[in-house]
Each structure stands twice: as C-alpha cells, then as structure tokens.
Structure 1
Amino acid sequence: MADAPPRRRPDLLRRFLRTRVLAHRRAWAALLLALAVASGLRTLAPPDPPTEPVLVAARDLPAGTVLSAGDLTTLRWPRGTAPDGLAARPLGRTVAAPLRRGEPLTDVRLVAPSLLAGYPGLVALPVRIPDPTAVSLLRVGDEIDLVASDPEAATADTVAVGVPVLALPGEPADGSGQVTSGRLVVLGLSATEVREVSVAASRQFLTVAFSR
C-alpha cells in the first residue's frame, strides 16, 4: 500500500484518534467522573484549623531543672487551645514543679525571675541538706522547718521555722566528675535565720521537717 499523500495525513491522524477515543470512551468517562468527584471533595472539605506554636517540655523535667535549649521543643496547637500564661523567654530559668514530656511551659511552672518575689524581707540562702532522699520529697513553694542535730552530743535544735523552698537546683558534678554529697536547697530566710542556719550547716547535721 502506497503512502497517503501529505494532505491526507492529518485526516488519517484525526480518524485514528477518534477511533481510539470511541473505543475507550467508557474508561475516559470514568476517569473524568473520578476527577470531578475528587475536585468536589476538596472544595467541600473544611480547611485545616489555624495553629500556633507552643513551647513544651522535650522530656520529663524534674523540679529544679535550669532550662536549656535541649529541654524544650515547639509543637503546633490548634489556635485558642493553649493554656494561659505561656512562658515567653524560659531559657535559663528554673522549673518550679515537675513537667511531663509535651506539657506546655507556663509561668506558674517556673520560679519567679527573682527568687524572692512575693517574699519581702527574706534573704535567699543555698543550704546543703546531707540526706538527698529527704530533699527529693520537697517541692518549690513548700514551707519547712530546719533541724540541726549533733549525733555526738545527742542534741537537736530547730534553727528555722516555716521557711519557704525557693528553688531545688540540679546537682553539678565537681572537678573529679563526681556529684557532691547531699542536695542543695535554696531557702528564704530572715537575716537572723541566715546567720544561725549558716553556722549550723557548717557544724551540725541539717534535716528538714514539713511545716505545712
């Protein structure tokens, strides 16, 4: 069969395409219908709700943790669902109460920028308590009594009553890589109590008793 003249080639191409389309018209119709349905569903589906960034704990954080970048992460929460009082600049601040991983960081979970905010007339004094287990029972905001005992003399005296726990710092290791003994507690004391507690801490065994 001789080749078709050049002027007839477009006619042959159109006839061929028409034949192919007619042969598969059902498949084409089904495809177009599916595209129309999908487009309609996208149009009818509600848009994703707006979100906002919320700073949360990246891991479980004990009370007394001084926050660093690795302690925090940002999650997207639906707008309007985040709790009030989100902390704006928490890095370097101290966690006042334990935080679970994923819990939003709010102002009430942090020690106030000034440890003595709300405690006029008191002085912040770091005191090392020899029994770390007793300190593990404390939370920032507790009010405690300090008892100084002398095992050799078999005496015990209360050296401070109803003093607030201001912070429970983490325990850094010393130069040898070992954690120092006991646990550090930052207490709010009067000027008179500061002297008495400091002397007792250097000479006697300090322990805590819950005031309330």
Structure 2
Amino acid sequence: MTNSFLHDLVRAARWHRRLLAGLFAAAAVYFALVAVSPPPAASTPVLAAARDLPGGLTPAAGDIRTLRLPTSTVPAGVLPPGTDLSHRVLATAVRSGEPLTDARFLTPTAVPPGLLAYPLRLDDADIAALLRPGDRIDLYAASATADASATRLAEAVPILALPAPTRSTGALVVLAASPGTAARLAQASANTRLTVALTPDTS
C-alpha cells in the first residue's frame, strides 16, 4: 500500500514537474526581489483640499481631507491633520488635492498694525483682474453725472487678497485699510460706484 502510494506520488511529480519547476522559479524570483527592494519611503500626513476651493473661503470639514506625502516632499508650512481652520480665510484659490500651507491663508500678521482686513466688492471684474496681492491702489467714488469729477476716497491702500469670483458680477478684493478708510468706503459703496487706480511702485 505504501509502495503504491509513493509510486503514485513520484509519477504525479514527474507528470507535473514542469509546472512545479515554474512555481519554484517564480517563488525564487519573488523572494529575491523582496530581499533587494528598498524599504518604503517614510510618509507624513498633511491637510489638503478635497475640492477646488475659492479664495475668501473658511474651509469646512467637507472641504479638506488628509493626504500622505513622502516626507522628503512635504512643503514648508504645511498644515497637519487636526489644525483648526474655523478662523482661517483662504487668501487665494486652491486646487483639489493641493496641500494646505500657512501661506495660503490670511493671518493676523498679514495685516499691518493699526489696519484691518476690509473686503470690498468692485463692480468691474475686468479691472479687478489686473490687480495682484501686494499692489497698492487709490480708490475713487465715481460721480453719477458726467460733469462732476470723481472723489478720491483713499490713497495707496494695499491689497491683501483677491478671492476667486463666486458670482457673475463684480469682484471681491480684500484691502488693508484703516478704520476711517473702511468707514468711508462702506458709506460710498452704498451710494456710488467705486473704481480704482494703481499707484506707482515706489519700492
């Protein structure tokens, strides 16, 4: 009985020797590759945009996700998971999947002492498209009559941010304005059309 079993086992092995040889060869190659493969690169979890986000937005839980990046490629200032974003406002638009860094947000240190971040909607989006953060602008209240000159409301006001458009008309700009300038702009924007002019670069 035992001899018959061994005979059948040897015959089966001979019959499938090519298949067995192939399996053993594949296993040898696999284990050799595992032995010489480098260990997986270290990764770091970071916060990233879960969708395209416009500037001027305070991201909510559904706007962000955790992304793991190779530690060597993590950008400086990246925000780790768990960062409180409830009081942070995006200074510019962010693409889906982009890691969120501190430079993407307006912070209290971005506003010079004695000034405040004042959002102002300009009627002409084409004019706003010419502006960039860091530009300084003069602001005018345009007269409703053709024979009257425009009134200059503020001079050399710095632009902090240009949020992405969220509606079809006008464009939003965020200015670093004094409380007095902000009050004049708020009053004028309620009654007249505001326009801007770029000031010369004196740097």
Identify if the C-alpha distance between structure 1 residues 90 and 139 changes in structure 2 by more than 3 Å, giving closer, same or farther.
farther
> Does 2:66 align with 1:74?
yes
- Is the partner of 2:32 in helix, strand or coil? helix
- Is the partner of 1:17 in helix, strand or coil? helix
> Does 2:150 align with 1:156?
yes
Report how many aligned residue pairs link the two structures: 196
TM-score when scaled to structure 1? 0.74
Contact 1:69 1:91 in 2 (8 A): no
Among the aligned pairs, what percent are the same residue?
A: 41
Superposed structure 1 runs of 4+ greater than 6 Å apart: none
Identify if the C-alpha distance between structure 1 residues 185 and 10 changes in structure 2 by more than 3 Å, giving closer, same or farther.
same
Structure number, greater radius of gyration = 1
Paired AA for residue 150 in structure 1: S
Alignment-derived partner of residue 129 in structure 1:
122
Between the aligned partners of 2:72 and 2:129, the Cα distance in structure 1 is 36
Contact 1:56 1:103 in 2 (8 A): yes
Paired AA for residue 186 in structure 2: S
Contact 1:66 1:169 in 2 (8 A): no
Q: 1:206 aligns with which of 194, 198, 201?
A: 194
- Is the partner of 2:45 in helix, strand or coil? strand
> Does 2:9 align with 1:13?
no
> Does 2:26 align with 1:31?
no
Between the aligned partners of 1:67 and 1:155, the Cα distance in structure 2 is 42
Q: 2:103 aligns with which of 99, 104, 108?
A: 108
Between the aligned partners of 2:130 and 2:58, the Cα distance in structure 1 is 19
Alpha-carbon shift at residue 119 of structure 1 (Å): 1.0
Alignment-derived partner of residue 4 in structure 1:
none
Contact 1:63 1:140 in 2 (8 A): no
- Is the partner of 2:72 in helix, strand or coil? coil
TM-score when scaled to structure 2? 0.77
Between the aligned partners of 1:62 and 1:187, the Cα distance in structure 2 is 17
- Is the partner of 2:114 in helix, strand or coil? coil
Between the aligned partners of 1:164 and 1:56, the Cα distance in structure 2 is 29
CA RMSD of aligned residues (A): 2.9
Q: 1:41 aligns with which of 30, 33, 52?
A: 33
